[in-house]
């Protein structure tokens, strides 16, 4: 049976990176750049005051206190008209261009007014000139961001600074989510006999949104071939189709049969892991398809371990599956069976590093227990004492 590491490798090998698209600047946040970006100007574009104060000549300030004549006032956005000469200064605000002749800005806190258009400099530290030199951040024409770089709020600010109102990013996948099961009731109804509410189509939509993609909920299919065919058929046009439930060994678990009927290429249908054993991965043209286990915890575990990295790969992430963190168990743990267990835990940052605290859960249907976890410890069968270093996958990054 496929191991979790093998399964991840198969998923990533068979998942394409999507093409580049041009989007308006703010829509790029959460995506990855598909082009290197160069600056169209020097940054900063002029010698800029970093502080409110007085622009003066350092050689006039060797002995303090000293009085200087104020020849001009410069708010941000106003260009200087006068050169600062011996014994002179310009009153300057943060962000304003430093006038010719001046080579430092004395902060306003180190001055007092002397009346009659003059200022008294009480002290001046020649080591803090308080000037951001023209081009000191980046020179015109130089690359400020490489292709593949994450667009975060700071990159949006940088892209705006270098004149980009549109930018090329890797396209986000179009994702469709389908629940399956005759027993599933809508959120707004009290479940009848034998029914439970559909949790997974919603949790999977939410998981996709967290990954920066808007998924479409196709609804819930009955455990009937005709219904499954129609709804899975509709989802095959998407870049990613997520089907929850109907993939185990039961008589009514018809999803693999319907996948077969559509002629999709199934790469694996079970993984040697707990929970999440019945996880199916298939491809169809450039689209990828996951059959996720129906139990609400299992579906989210499989999503985190396999779907999330696939979505990141599609979006051009250079490291779709970051390595797990290492931490020490806060309690002894025994793992039975023969499969790799992904155990719900809480990660805490301590002075000595991360600690891994198992949370009490009643298994793969227990979303109450799972809600206390923020990571999955990766444990092979065996007995682990308190303090043992283990690996864990954070649920959210
Ligand atoms: P299955 O994989 O379809 O055999 O489902 C396994 C278990 O998960 C069963 O107890 C189902 O009732 C439950 N289940 C399946 N789909 C959902 C869903 N969308 N929301 C909540 N529970 C589900
Ligand atoms: Mg089912």
Same structural domain, 286 and 236: yes
The model's confidence at residue 126, banded by pLDDT at 50, 70 and 90, is confident
Domain assignment present for residue 306? The answer is yes
Q: What is the mean pLDDT of residues 180-184?
A: 98
112 CA to centre of ligand 2 in angstroms: 78
Domain assignment present for residue 270? The answer is yes
Cis omega (within 30 of 0) for bond into 65: yes
Mutation pick for ligand 1 pocket among 178, 181, 202, 366 (CB with most ligand atoms within 8 Å): 181
Same structural domain, 189 and 310: yes
Q: Is 168 in the pocket of ligand 1 (CB under 6 A)?
A: no
Question: What is the per-residue pLDDT for 208?
Answer: 98
Question: What is the per-residue pLDDT for 397?
Answer: 73
Q: What is the mean pLDDT of residues 171-184?
A: 98
Query: With 90 as the cut, is the pLDDT of residue 249 above it?
Result: no
CATH number of the domain encompassing residue 189: 3.40.980.10
Domain assignment present for residue 373? The answer is yes
Query: With 80 as the cut, is the pLDDT of residue 362 above it?
Result: yes
181 CA to centre of ligand 1 in angstroms: 7
Same structural domain, 178 and 306: yes
171 CA to centre of ligand 2 in angstroms: 33
DSSP state of 228: H
Pairing relationship of beta strands 20-24 and 375-379 according to DSSP bridges: unpaired
CATH number of the domain encompassing residue 81: 2.170.190.11
CATH number of the domain encompassing residue 380: 2.40.340.10
Mean pLDDT for all residues in the chain: 97
- pLDDT tens across 188-215, in order? 999 999 999 999 999 999 999 999 999 9
Tokens of 278: 């019945």
34 CA to centre of ligand 1 in angstroms: 39
Query: With 90 as the cut, is the pLDDT of residue 66 above it?
Result: yes
Domain assignment present for residue 144? The answer is no
The model's confidence at residue 49, banded by pLDDT at 50, 70 and 90, is very high
Q: Look-up: residue for tokens 């970051």?
A: 322
Residues 6+ apart with CB under 8 A from 286: 16, 239
Question: What is the per-residue pLDDT for 193?
Answer: 98
Residues 6+ apart with CB under 8 A from 181: 198, 220, 222, 223, 245, 246, 294
d(CA 385, CA 387): 6
Same structural domain, 117 and 229: no
Tokens of 73: 């006032």
Domain assignment present for residue 249? The answer is yes
Query: With 80 as the cut, is the pLDDT of residue 41 above it?
Result: yes
Q: What is the mean pLDDT of residues 248-273?
A: 95
335 CA to centre of ligand 1 in angstroms: 24
Q: Is-contact 105 55, C-beta < 8 A?
A: yes
Number of separate domains in the chain: 4
Domain assignment present for residue 146? The answer is no
d(CA 232, CA 177): 10
Q: Is-contact 63 122, C-beta < 8 A?
A: no
Q: Is 179 in the pocket of ligand 1 (CB under 6 A)?
A: yes
Q: Is-contact 92 76, C-beta < 8 A?
A: no
Tell me the backbone φ, ψ of residue 370, rounded to 5 degrees. Answer: -65, -30
Give the position, in ligand 1's atom list, of the atom nearest the Cα of 293.
2
Pairing relationship of beta strands 340-350 and 280-284 according to DSSP bridges: unpaired
Domain assignment present for residue 141? The answer is no
Same structural domain, 164 and 273: no
Q: Is-contact 154 19, C-beta < 8 A?
A: no
Please give the angle made by the CA atoms of 259, 340 and 396, to the nearest 5 degrees.
80
Tell me the backbone φ, ψ of residue 102, rounded to 5 degrees. Answer: -85, 145
Mutation pick for ligand 1 pocket among 244, 295, 297, 370 (CB with most ligand atoms within 8 Å): 295
251 CA to centre of ligand 1 in angstroms: 14
Q: Is 256 in the pocket of ligand 1 (CB under 6 A)?
A: no
Which residue, by CA, sits nearest to atom 14 of ligand 1? 294
Same structural domain, 82 and 57: yes
The model's confidence at residue 329, banded by pLDDT at 50, 70 and 90, is very high
Tell me the residue range of the domain where 35 lies: 20-43+152-170
Tell me the backbone φ, ψ of residue 325, rounded to 5 degrees. Answer: -90, 160
Mutation pick for ligand 1 pocket among 257, 294, 301, 302 (CB with most ligand atoms within 8 Å): 294
377 CA to centre of ligand 1 in angstroms: 24
Same structural domain, 243 and 287: yes
Q: Is 199 in the pocket of ligand 1 (CB under 6 A)?
A: yes
Give the position, in ligand 1's atom list, of the atom nearest the Cα of 298.
8
Same structural domain, 176 and 298: yes
Strand-pair partners of 177: 217, 242
Same structural domain, 38 and 53: no
Residues 6+ apart with CB under 8 A from 99: 55, 72, 74, 80, 82, 83, 84, 90, 92
Helical residues (DSSP H) of the chain, grouped into ranges: 4-13, 153-161, 200-210, 225-235, 255-261, 296-302, 308-314, 367-370
Mutation pick for ligand 1 pocket among 196, 270, 276, 297 (CB with most ligand atoms within 8 Å): 196
Same structural domain, 32 and 164: yes
Q: Is 246 in the pocket of ligand 1 (CB under 6 A)?
A: yes
The model's confidence at residue 352, banded by pLDDT at 50, 70 and 90, is very high
**Nearest ligand to residue 185 Cα:** 1
Same structural domain, 289 and 226: yes
Q: Is 201 in the pocket of ligand 1 (CB under 6 A)?
A: yes
Residues 6+ apart with CB under 8 A from 128: 104
Query: With 80 as the cut, is the pLDDT of residue 73 above it?
Result: yes
Q: Is 358 in the pocket of ligand 1 (CB under 6 A)?
A: no
**Model confidence, pTM:** 0.94
Q: What is the mean pLDDT of residues 306-323?
A: 98
Domain assignment present for residue 246? The answer is yes
Which residue, by CA, sits nearest to atom 11 of ligand 1? 294
User: Can you state the percent helix, strand and coil of the chain, rounding each to 5?
Assistant: 20, 35, 45
- pLDDT tens across 132-167, in order? 999 999 999 999 999 999 999 999 999 999 999 999
Helix, strand counts (H, E) of the chain: 8, 28
User: What is the length of the chain?
Assistant: 397
d(CA 110, CA 295): 67
Same structural domain, 276 and 292: yes
Helical residues (DSSP H) of 139-267, grouped into ranges: 153-161, 200-210, 225-235, 255-261
């Amino acid at each position: 049976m496929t191991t979790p590491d093998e399964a991840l490798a198969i998923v990533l090998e068979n998942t394409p990176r999507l093409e580049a698209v041009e989007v308006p600047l703010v829509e790029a946040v959460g995506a990855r750049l598909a082009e290197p970006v160069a600056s169209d100007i020097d940054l900063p574009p002029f010698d800029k005051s970093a502080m409110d104060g007085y622009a003066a000549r350092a050689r006039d300030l060797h002995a303090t206190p000293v009085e200087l004549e104020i020849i001009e006032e410069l708010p941000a956005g106003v260009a200087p008209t006068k050169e600062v000469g011996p014994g002179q200064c310009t009153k300057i605000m943060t962000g304003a261009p430093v006038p010719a002749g001046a080579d430092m800005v004395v902060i306003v806190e180190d001055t007092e007014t002397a009346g009659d258009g003059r200022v008294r400099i009480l002290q001046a530290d020649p080591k803090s000139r308080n000037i951001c030199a023209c081009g000191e951040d980046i020179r015109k024409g130089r690359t400020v961001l490489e292709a593949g770089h994450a667009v975060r709020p700071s990159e949006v600010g940088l892209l705006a600074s270098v004149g980009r109102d549109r930018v090329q990013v890797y396209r986000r996948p179009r994702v469709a989510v389908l629940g399956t099961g005759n027993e599933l009731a809508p959120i707004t109804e009290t479940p009848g006999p034998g029914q439970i509410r559909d949790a997974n189509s919603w949790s999977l939509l939410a998981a996709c949104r967290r990954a920066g993609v808007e998924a479409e909920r196709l609804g819930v299919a009955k455990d009937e071939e005709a219904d499954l065919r129609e709804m899975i058929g509709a989802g095959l046009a998407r870049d990613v189709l997520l089907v929850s439930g109907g993939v185990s060994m039961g008589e009514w678990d018809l999803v693999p049969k319907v996948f077969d009927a559509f002629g999709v290429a199934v790469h694996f249908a079970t993984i040697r892991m707990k929970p999440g054993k019945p996880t199916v991965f298939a491809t169809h043209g450039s689209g990828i398809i996951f059959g996720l286990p129906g139990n609400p915890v299992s579906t989210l575990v499989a999503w985190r371990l396999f779907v999330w990295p696939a979505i990141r790969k599609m979006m051009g992430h250079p490291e779709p599956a970051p390595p797990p963190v290492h931490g020490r168990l806060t309690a002894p743990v025994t793992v039975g069976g023969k499969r790799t267990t992904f155990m719900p835990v809480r990660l805490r940052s301590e002075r000595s590093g991360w600690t891994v605290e198992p949370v009490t859960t009643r298994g793969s249907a227990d979303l109450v227990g799972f809600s206390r976890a923020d990571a999955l410890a990766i444990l092979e069968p065996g007995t682990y004492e308190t303090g043992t270093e283990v690996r864990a996958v954070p649920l959210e990054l």
